Chains A and B, each alone.
Chain A
Amino acid sequence: MVLIPLCATKPVISAAKYERSLLIRNHHKAANNKISLCRLLSIRQHSTSPSTSQDELNHNDLIKDYEISHEEFKYVEQVLASPTVPELKEHTQYPTPSGWFPPNESLQAQQKYLIRRTKNHMLPVYSQTHTTWYGTTHYVSIKKIEGDIWALEADLREHVLKITGQKFVNTQVHEVGRFIRVRGQHRDLIANFLLEKGM
């Protein structure tokens, strides 16, 4: 066991200190065993463990011989995460191999409403499951809605009824929060509908 050099960062534990900490740990273990035995015999026990404040780092144990390299820091930068979402790159054709395509602005202009993509370039359509004592309820929530929210709700309702053949569909419109909730497991259906609308 060896020692780490002093630098701007915090020094790590020394070999001597490590051994001492092991000793203290064993001492604590022994003390704990003692305490449990005393509890069994209902004898009053005082703590006998030494205080850790005496445990000072010996600076002579530290390695002071080290090399500083600025060149190798580029490998560190390669590993660190980008603080922001990187910009999109141009693709020769859409959809991309994974099936993604960008919003169609000319189609969007024809609609009364607009749904913006998330920071991850995806549609803000989420499936939710709500479980209570009376059973499980499924919702699909559509967020980041701009423009005429009621027109979108009417379109969604019409589309879901047409595709599924249901007699009715329950929806909730939150005008202030700018989101709609549709009851049922219709996430993919709704997402495809919105993509067709150019969102």
Chain B
Amino acid sequence: MSSKVTERALNLIKSMPRVALNNIKPLPHTAFKKKTDRRGDRKKKGRGDKGQGARGTWDPLGYEGGQNPLIDTSPRERYYAQYAVRRQYPPVTLLELQRLIDLNRVNTSRPVDITSICNTGLFNFDISKNHFGVNLTDEGCDQFVAKINAEVQWTSELVIAAIEKNGGTITTRYYDPSCLAALYDPLAFFKKGQPIPKCKLPPQDALLYYSDPNSRGYLADPEKILEAREKLAQKYGYKLPDLEGDPVKEMLLMRKDPLQIFYGLEPGWIVNLRDKCVLKPKDEDYLKYYHSAH
């Protein structure tokens, strides 16, 4: 159907070389016209008369004519490597915790964990800012008198001593961000209708801390923790209260499973807030997933 003209044009295109970088050139009107008449610039090249400017011998950058330059006199901040991906633990002091207990904001007849601190509504944690829980700091360690079962994400030796001196116990526990989202605001999490997540194991660089009996890590050997308690009592010179004869021994020794994030609730269960019940799936594969660390 094609006419002869079309056929000829197609044949022409077929015979012509393909358009490539080696055979294209700019359009004629876009070509830069070279300036040939530069009579005025023949002597000084637009750089003025004499001096550093004409000869290109300027001072180095930052040189201030011999006086101590700003870069040497002002203090510098060392490069904080990988600050954006480091784990952050916002501090809560022992004094603040004691104030919460005094004003009945935290119930000491139950274990005190990140959820009970967040439920006061007085502290803000944000997963998007790499907050990995609470760092219990030693400010007010002399005023601290409460007997609690504390579970925090980071702490120091002095805090451990202050709590154990009063007959309490403390554990350091790692939670991964998706678990922390549930722990920061349990109501918002249960409203989603998702199964309770299983907690991941700590990352490589935190594994040592969370399996160390001196930091009361949750992965440490319980017998070694008992030894470490006595050692710490000797170091700070206090008498360790007897755990065996304690009336609230059961509460003080309550611990979560490494995969568990709420007391009494297992990973994989689903909470129905409307009917006020808990749903426990029975599927084998499902249970295998939620009861294994990997």
Interfacial residues, chain A to chain B (CB-CB below 8 A) = 1-5, 7-10, 12, 63, 65-70, 72-76, 78-82, 85-89, 91, 96-100, 120-121
Give the residues in chain A near B275, CB-CB below 8 Å: 8
Question: Can you list 21 A-B pairs, Cβ within 8 angstroms, ordered by A?
Answer: A4-B195, A4-B286, A9-B270, A12-B195, A63-B282, A65-B281, A68-B280, A69-B278, A70-B277, A72-B265, A73-B271, A73-B276, A75-B263, A76-B271, A79-B263, A80-B190, A87-B104, A88-B103, A89-B104, A98-B143, A120-B122
CA A166 to CA B272, docked complex, whole Å: 63
CA A86 to CA B104, docked complex, whole Å: 7
Task: Assess the B186–A79 pair: CB atoms within 8 A.
Answer: yes
Task: Assess the A86–B278 pair: CB atoms within 8 A.
Answer: no
Give the residues in chain B near A87, CB-CB below 8 Å: 104
- 9 nearest A-B pairs in the assembled complex, by CB-CB distance: A9-B193, A75-B264, A81-B119, A98-B99, A96-B102, A98-B98, A2-B286, A72-B278, A67-B280
Give the residues in chain A near B19, CB-CB below 8 Å: none
Contact with A along B181-207 (1 / 0, CB 8 A): 000001100101111000000000000
Q: Which residue of A lies closest to B103 (CB)?
A: A121
Task: Assess the B145–A97 pair: CB atoms within 8 A.
Answer: yes
Asked if B274 is at the interface (CB within 8 A of a chain A CB), the reply is yes
Asked if B131 is at the interface (CB within 8 A of a chain A CB), the reply is no
Q: Which residue of B lies closest to A82 (CB)?
A: B119
Interfacial residues, chain B to chain A (CB-CB below 8 A) = 95, 98-99, 101-105, 110, 115, 118-122, 140, 143-146, 186-187, 190, 192-195, 262-265, 269-283, 285-286, 289
Quick one: which of A9, A69, A79, A96 has the most chain B CB within 10 A? A79
Q: Which residue of A lies closest to B287 (CB)?
A: A2
Give the residues in chain A near B265, CB-CB below 8 Å: 72, 75-76, 79
CA A191 to CA B119, docked complex, whole Å: 27
Given contacts A76-B190, A79-B262, A97-B144, contact A68 B277 (CB under 8 A): yes
Task: Assess the B98–A70 pair: CB atoms within 8 A.
Answer: no
CA A57 to CA B248, docked complex, whole Å: 50
Shortest Cβ distance from residue B119 to the other chain A in the assembled complex, whole angstroms: 4
Task: Assess the B282–A67 pair: CB atoms within 8 A.
Answer: yes
CA A65 to CA B283, docked complex, whole Å: 7
Task: Assess the B286–A63 pair: CB atoms within 8 A.
Answer: yes
Quick one: which of B146, B265, B274, B279 has the most chain A CB within 10 A? B279
Given contacts A5-B281, A7-B193, A66-B281, contact A100 B102 (CB under 8 A): yes
Given contacts A9-B193, A97-B145, contact A73 B285 (CB under 8 A): no
